[in-house]
Every structure is written in structure tokens, then in C-alpha cells.
Structure 1
Amino acid sequence: MADVLYPPKPSPGDRVAVISPSSGLPGLFPLPYELGLKRLREEYGLEPVEYPATRTMGSTPQQRADDLHAAFADPAVKAVFASVGGDDQITVVPLLDREVIRAHPKPFFGMSDNTNLLAFLRETGIVGFHGASVMVELGRPGAMHPQTADSLRAALFTPGPYELRPAERWRDVDRDWADPATFDAEPETRPGTGWTWLNAHRVVEGRTWGGCLEIVGWMLMAGRGLARDLSEYDGGVLFLETSEELPGAEEVFRTLRNMGERGLLARFSALLMGRPKTWSFGRPLAPEEGAAHAAEQRAAVTRAMRAYAPEALVVFDVDLGHTDPQLVIPYGGLVRVDGPARCITVTY
């Protein structure tokens, strides 16, 4: 595949699409959604434009594909934001018209189940942006995390390099979106612990591929999101993270093992592994239990990488994906991982 294109960036005052390519949760939880729209307007100077399925739970894959086509084809819309994730975007991707989207390249922001669309855009030749969904990051109670806000601002408006920095404070515990009191104050945070580096004697610069590990596994099972010629990923930067479903260490290892057996892991020269989510409403782990879950995941990833890509540079607990703060990662864009300097620089 030829080098992918960084789409033109919006400017303050522009219109941006807000769509729900996965789940119509804005219709069930309007509080974080409306807060996210307000911040797009007031903090970023952008005018959000909704589409028919944006607030519709149970919309069909075709309705969501229609919204995507309309958002990309509208010349007045300069960027596209996903409202939130979900679990069935894999049924939407086959309905997308690659030529329509290729003819109207725009920055797309989303994560989690939106890994499907980000991989589709990369295959289409367009850099997307992993992160900054409207309901989660923009709709954060109290205020956006400053690091999230700054990363999004740079990804939106400023082309060129941007250095990622470990969070000084972070949080894992979520609060009820249906309760208005949730939005009265910022969530509690805990001190940051920095990033952990393996094989940090080298510098790697390459284009990214990856996303939410569970969704990556689904895509590979469905034969989606991956170039036919795996040499496309030679020397690249793999980035992965896990969701609020809290997959166990053995599941994480098996997914990576299967990627290794396919010959995929060895293609990448570096892996950025996001800080794992260690709390959910279904599994509200105590801090010590969450720390054990994270440690077991790091051990599982290390085990797989040593088996299939022993020379790869690996960085653990990077502030990407299902964590807060969340740093935006260019999907298909350039990332430089400097082991000796302990520095990660993305190109927005």
C-alpha cells in the first residue's frame, strides 16, 4: 500500500459530523453526549452536525453506513467524530463505499469498536485518529483531562510532531451516566506510575496499526482490516489496548499468540500497549485487584512478544485507549518510539 494520506484539518468555526457507527447510546444517555457537543462548540470552536442514526438505538448497519457516507461526502463537513463505541461495527464496514470515502478524506476520531472503521480508513489510504469520542473523552464529568484536551487540539488543528507524555494522574473508575450528580465534579484520580520499557536500546519509526485488542481479534476472524501482504507492516508500530470487558491475561495471550502464528507480530518493530482498563460496572475491582489484573496482562503480553517478536521495542501502560487521560494515536500515521530517550512522538 502506498503511503496513507493525512486528511486536511478543520479550522475553528468549521462544521464537524457527529455519528454513531456502532451504538446509538446518545439516545439513552444524553447527559455526557450533550456535554461533549457543548465542548466541541465552546472549547474547540467547532459546530457539530448530527445525522439520522446518531441518537437511535437499534439502527440498522445500512442506516449507519448511510450516515457515514453522508458525513464524508458533505463538503461543508471538515471532520467526523464517533459518539461512542459499541460491538457490531463489523457489520457496517462491508456496506461502505470505499470510493466515496477515498474521494472525500476527512479526519475521523473514534476508538473501541471504531477500530473497525479506523482499519478500513487505513486500507483506503487515509490516516484516522484513535481516540476522542464525544460521550467519553469530550463528555468527561467536570472537565476534560488536560492531557486529553491538549492531544485532541493538536490532532485536530496542528499538523506535525507531538510528544506524548505519561500521565501525572489517571483514573479508572467510571460513574453512572444516567445520574446528573455524576457531572457535578471531576472523577477521582490516582498518581501516575509512568511507562515501562522493554528492549529500549533502539529507536523505531513507522506507521501504526492495531487498536482495541478484542476488536482486532474479531476483525482477524472476519478477514477484515488487514492488508493481504503482511510486508505492509514491516518495521511498523503496533498499538493495542483492552476494553472495559476486562479480558483475562490468558485471553490476551491467546489473541497475541494467534497473531504471532499468522506471522503478524514479527512484522512490527515496536508495540505500544495501552494502560489496561481494570474496573467496570460488571467487575468493580478493588485497587489491589486491578493492579494484579494489569500485572497479569503485562506478563501475558511479554510472554507472547518474547515468543514471536523478541527483538521488538515494547512500551507498557501508554495512555491510549480505554483510559483517562487518553492520548490520540494517528491510525496509519507516523509514530517515533525512542527507547534510549524514553520518548514517544506521534505525527498528527
Structure 2
Amino acid sequence: MTQLNELMRPDFTVPPKLTAGDRVAVVSPSFAAPGMFPAVHEASTRRLREDFGVEPVEYPTTRRLNATPQDRAADLMAAFADPTIRAVLASIGGDDQLTVLPFLDPRVIAANPKPFFGYSDNTNLLNWLWNLGIVSYHGGSTMVHLGRSGGLHPVSTGSLRAALFTGGNLDLHPVQEFSEDPLDWNDPASLDKQAPTLPAPEWIWHQPDQVVTAPTWGGNLEILHWNLAANRWIRPVEDYAGCVLLLETSEEMPSATEVFRMLRNAGERGLLAQFPAVLVGTAKASDLGRQPPLEERERYRDDQREAILRAFNHYNPTAMVVFNIDLGHTDPQWVLPYGGTVTVDGPARRITAHYCDKTAE
């Protein structure tokens, strides 16, 4: 099979935008949550139709629990190869997408670039597409933000619309409130409830003394660490030079010690030194069955921030780092270009996502 490095392009391709009525694939490359929580899945597909004006298309493994990596890869290949499918959206993350990648054919996907949306375990696919020079989008998994309890959030949907339809530039901003205590998807009544909200932590800027406009790379730290350990899908560190690093942690809430160790491993490889700017998602500090008091959550986020700064102070002391961005495992969530560019303007304390740089030919 063709190797990714044989197809790496010097410039990224932004797949074409969609128009009303287009068909979009809803796939489960990791955990088939739609099969376990069909009401949430059906709410998300209904909102794709009614609020976004697109037609969701399911695939054989979208709802099939414990589907093989080969079958999940086959659904991805079918979605990308189908000219009537204009975008591919992951239903949710999981923990084994790394096993799907060997069964993908890069030549087919490189010949049929289209926007892919996902985060968490979908960091695997985002990184795989980055290696092909195809811009994708970090965020936008259907179950979480389209099937969101209590309805859609304007931050999540506004950035998703920019990625899908309008392109252009979008200035990110801090939100006033956020949610991190999810409702139980096993309870049908949860679909109509609003998840409890908390005051959102403010953005924290570290060394905001430069302006960086560059392609993004990164994603979920735990998944990136697995990729580094597998040593199969990570490119030579010089290929990431000058990029903006997106960094966030999952609902498994790794300790500050573990966060530092994962970053230390990346630093020893020379990876951390490549990024002049880093955007760090608000660390999720609560989940079903594990909802600590507010002061413990604040301490968790403070400890994680200190661990990240400790790693960068050692391996890249000039990096500009911005904390508490609503990316990754956050609600609301900015859906951000992955391989597309963002501008991090430290002196102006401004972050701008650029959703259309180059149209696919």
C-alpha cells in the first residue's frame, strides 16, 4: 500500500465547502455510540437536517458495536470515495482508532479530499489526513455537540457552519459559561434538559509577545502520546516546524504528573521545540460518576497548566501558550481548522481561525 510520506504535499488543500441539500457521512471510526444511544444519535441527525440543511447518511458500522477495524475502515473509504458525499463527520471518539488506520488507502482519499470532523480519538484520523496535506477540522463530532442536551450552542454551531459552508475568518472569544457535568444519555428525558453550567475560566496568556499565523496540528494529548509510542504515523519533527499546536485532555482526566510525562516524552523527541504558539483547551475536570467540588476542579486545571508550562519552559522556553480555550472536550466547543491556519496575536490577545485558505482543485 502507498505510504503516507510518498503523498505528503508541500501545501495543504482545503476541501470544497458545502451547499444546502448536500449529503454528509456520519460514521463511527471508533466507538459506535449511535448503537448504544440511538435517541441522542437521532437528535443529532435531525439537527443536521433541520438546522444545517444537509442530509446525513449512515454506514453499516455507524451503529454497529464492536465492529472490526477493517469494517470501520471500509466505511470511511466508502464515504470518501462516494462523490455525492461532501463531508464526513465522526459520531464520537473512542479508544482504538489507531487500529483502523492501517486499513485506509491514502491514494483514494488524496484523490477525493473532503472535510472530516472529529476530536478525541479522532485525533488519529485528523493526523492521518494532515500527513496527506488535507485540511480537516478538530471538533464537531455529532453525538456530543449536535446531539447536545437542551439544544445547540451558538459557539459550536457557528464555527461548524464556518467550516462546512461559509469559510472566512472567525475571531474566537472567551465564553461566559461552560458545561462539564454531562447528563446521562441512558435517560431519554436528558435530551430536553440543559446541562448545568459554571462560570468559564478566563483565557490565560503566557509570553504573549509575538504574532503567529500558521497551520495547526495536535489534538488530544493522550492520543498523540499513543501515536508517538506506535511510532508509525508521526512524521520527522522538522515537518511540524512553525505550526500552532492544539492541545487538550480527555474526560479520563490524566493527572498533572502524567500530562508532564507525556509532554516530556514529546520534548525529548524534539517535537515541542517546533511550535511557536500553543492553544490549550480548558481541561475537563468532571464526568459522569466523577464530579468533584469546584475548588478541586480549579486545582486540577491549575496543576495541569503548571505541568504544561514546566514542559515548555524546559523544551521550548520561547513558546507563546494560551490556556482555557474552548477546544476539544469542552461545551461549547470551537470547531477549528486542523492543517488550516489560525492566527495567534499575543500583543492584541486575539485568536482568529481561518476557514478557507485554498480550494481543492
TM-score by length of 1: 0.98
Shift of 1:68: 0.3
Provide the C-alpha distance between the structure 2 equivalents of 1:251 and 1:191, rounded to a whole number of angstroms: 27
Asked if structure 1 preserves the Cα contact closer than 8 Å seen for 2:248 and 2:329, the reply is yes
Q: Distance in 2 between matches of 1:150 and 1:169?
A: 17
Q: Which residue is equivalent to 1:264? A: 271
Cα-Cα RMSD: 0.9
Give SS of 2:337's match: strand
1:4 is the counterpart of 2:15: no
Cα deviation for residue 224 of structure 1 reads 3.3
Deviations 1:222-280 (A, max 9, x none): 1133223x222111101110000000000000011111110010111011010000001
Alpha-carbon distance in structure 2 between the residues aligned to 1:325 and 1:224:
33
Deviation at 1:129, TM superposition (A): 0.3
- Measure how far apart 1:170 and its partner are: 0.7
Q: Where do 5+ consecutive residues of structure 2 fail to align?
A: 1-8, 356-361
* Other-structure match for 1:132: 140
The equivalent position to 1:87 in structure 2, one of 77, 86, 95, is 95
Cα distance in 1 for residues equivalent to 2:145 and 2:61: 21
Q: Contact conserved, 2:119 with 2:220, CA < 8 A, in 1?
A: yes
2:41 to 33, 38, 43: 33
User: Closer, same or farther in 2 for the Cα pair 1:165/1:225, shift >3 Å?
Assistant: farther
- Does structure 2 retain, via aligned residues, the 8 Å contact 1:31–1:178? no
The 5 A counterparts of 1:201-240 are 201-228=209-236, 230-240=237-247
1:62 has 2:70 as partner = yes
Structure 1 residue 288 corresponds to structure 2 residue 305: no
What does 1:1-348 align with in structure 2 at a 5 Å threshold?
1-228=9-236, 230-348=237-355
Work out the CA distance in 1 between the residues paired with 2:318 and 2:352: 21
Deviations 1:8-58 (A, max 9, x none): 111111000000000111101112111110110000000000000000000
Instruction: Give the Cα separation in 2 of the matches to 1:154 and 1:89.
Output: 27
* AA in 1 matched with 2:271: L
How far residue 282 of structure 1 moved from its aligned partner, in angstroms, is 4.2
Distance 1:128 1:239 in 2: 13
Aligned to 1:315, the other structure's residue is in SS state strand
CA deviation after TM superposition for structure 1 residue 189, in Å: 1.1
For residue 249 of structure 2, what is the amino acid of its counterpart? Answer: T
Matched residues in 2 for 1:226 and 1:187: separation?
37
Residue identity matched to 1:2: P
TM-score with structure 2 setting the length: 0.95
Q: Is the 8 A contact 1:7 1:107 kept in 2?
A: yes
The alpha carbon displacement at 1:185 in A equals 2.0
Question: Is the 2:159–2:336 Cα contact (8 Å) retained in structure 1?
Answer: no
Determine helix, strand or coil for the equivalent of 1:43. helix
How far apart in 1 are the matches of 2:132 and 2:49? 30
